[in-house]
Amino acid sequence: MKLFNEPATSAPPYKPGFVTVAVGTKGAMALKGGTRLSWGERLLGGYTSYYQVDTRRTTIQFGKLSCASKVSGLEFDVIASLTLEVVDPARAVQKGISESEPILHQPVKRVIEQNALNFDVADANAAKLAIEKALVGLKTDLAIRIIDASVDVRPDERARELLRTIGEEQLVI
């Protein structure tokens, strides 16, 4: 997801859901709600670049990740979706966070892998709840806030086959 556009030399028109960030010699300044720089700020602040930062809630989805379960050799297949928003547009521009997925990929992967290790493949629902809770509490950069997480946790094909075989054996017994 692209958080902000390429810099413009003049302030772009106001668009709902976007915040204009002016960058100059005195740093970055967020112009919320369509406000404009004053004459003095334009003259003395040296603001030469303007960015439109998308502050609307957006959902990004991470591809399927295979991660180990509590039982050696059995794995989960996990697909995660995060709903997030930019809460500090000026910081996002200053830090150069033009896209959220690259900075979130490794922390999200780490959280999923750490939590999946605590559960057996038969406990996929419990793993799902634990991973979702951990993802919502994930702290990344202060410019971005994770609002909600949705995770699909399933045993991988080998684990499903093993669970099916175990179920059939229990039926025979």
Distance separating alpha carbons of residues 109 and 14, to the nearest angstrom: 36
Give me the pLDDT at residue 40, please: 73
Buried b (16+ CB within 10 A) or exposed e, 40-53: ebeeebebeebbbb
Give me the pLDDT at residue 131, please: 94
133-162 pLDDT tens trace = 999 989 888 899 999 999 999 887 776 666
Please check whether residue 17 is in contact with residue 56, taking contact to mean a CB–CB distance below 8 angstroms. yes
56-87 pLDDT tens trace = 999 999 989 988 888 777 888 899 999 999 99
pLDDT over threshold 70, residue 118: yes
Task: Kindly report whether the global pTM for this prediction surpasses the value 0.85.
Answer: no
